[in-house]
Amino acid sequence: TQLLEQSPQFLSIQEGENLTVYCNSSSVFSSLQWYRQEPGEGPVLLVTVVTGGEVKKLKRLTFQFGDARKDSSLHITAAQPGDTGLYLCAGRPTGGTSYGKLTFGQGTILTVHP
Amino acid sequence: GAGVSQSPSNKVTEKGKDVELRCDPISGHTALYWYRQSLGQGLEFLIYFQGNSAPDKSGLPSDRFSAERTGGSVSTLTIQRTQQEDSAVYLCASARGQGGTEAFFGQGTRLTVV
CB-CB under 8 Å, A97 with B56: yes
Q: Which pLDDT tens digit goes with each residue over B90-99?
A: 999 999 876 6
> Mean pLDDT, chain A, as a whole number?
93
Pairing of strands A71-76, A19-24: antiparallel
In a mutational test of the B interface, the residue from A41, A101, A106, A110 whose CB has the highest number of chain B CBs within 10 Å is A101
pLDDT of amino acid A48: 93
pLDDT class for A100, splitting at 50, 70, 90?
confident
Using CA atoms, how far residue B80 sits from A7, A41, B19, in Å, is 35, 26, 7
B-chain residues within 8 Å CB-CB of A104? 35, 42-45
Contact at CB, B58 and A98, closer than 8 angstroms = yes
Whether the Cβ atoms of residue A10 and residue A19 lie closer than 8 Å to each other = no
DSSP A19-77: EEEEEE-SS-EEEEEEEEE-TTS--EEEEEE-STT-EEEETTEEEEE-TTSSEEEEEES
Tens digits of residue pLDDT in B3-36: 999 999 999 999 999 999 999 999 999 999 999 9
Query: What is the pLDDT averaged over residues B35-49?
Result: 91
- How far apart, in whole angstroms, are the C-alpha atoms of residue B109 and residue B104? 15
Q: Rounded to an integer, what distance in angstroms lies between the CA atom of residue A53 and that of residue A36?
A: 22
A107 conformational bin, left if phi > 0, alpha if psi -120 to 50, beta if neither: left
**Residues A50, B100: C-beta atoms closer than 8 Å:** yes
Least confident of A6-10, B6-10, B57-61, B99-103: B99-103
**Contact assignment for B41 to A102 by CB distance below 8 Å:** no
| Bridge pairing between strands A29-37 and A85-93 | antiparallel
Q: Which of B42, B100, B101 sits opposite A107 (nearest CB)?
A: B42
d(CA A100, CA B113): 32
pLDDT of B40 higher than 70: yes
